[in-house]
Amino acid sequence: MQDDRQAQLFAVTSIERKDDITIYNLQFLRFYKTRVPVVMARWLVNKYLPLKNDCPVKLDVNEDYVLGCRRVDWCHFVRDYRNLTLDDWKLLGNNEWRD
């Protein structure tokens, strides 16, 4: 994970497959970082994540993930919430983690 401009926690609520694209429908649960107010960010973020079928990233319904973005419309990584490292938590600024 990099020190991105914004990161969100989301759950996958459903999956649709269309031709060569898999569309993951998302429910955003928490914003860790954002350059705009959270209320505005909730309006701006996509409620779905389309990925080409040849993309190695595969997500599961009812699982939580962290999405990192340079801008609201330019997200470039997704990480399984259950597998975040201590360094990942520090980048998110999550105060719930204790050393």
Expressed as residue numbers, the domain containing 59 is 6-91
Would residue 43 count as lying in a domain? yes
Domain count, the chain: 1
Would residue 40 count as lying in a domain? yes
Q: Indicate if the pLDDT at residue 19 is higher than 80.
A: yes
Would residue 96 count as lying in a domain? no
Alpha helices in 28-79 (DSSP H): 38-44
In sequence order, what are the residues at sequence separation of 6 or more whose Cβ sits closer than 8 angstroms to the Cβ of residue 3?
91
Would residue 97 count as lying in a domain? no
Would residue 98 count as lying in a domain? no
How far is residue 82's CA from residue 52's CA, in Å, rounded to a whole number? Answer: 24
pTM exceeding 0.85: no
pLDDT per position as a tens digit, 35-92: 666 656 665 566 888 899 999 989 999 999 988 777 666 677 788 999 988 877 777 7
The CATH number for 38's domain is 2.40.50.780
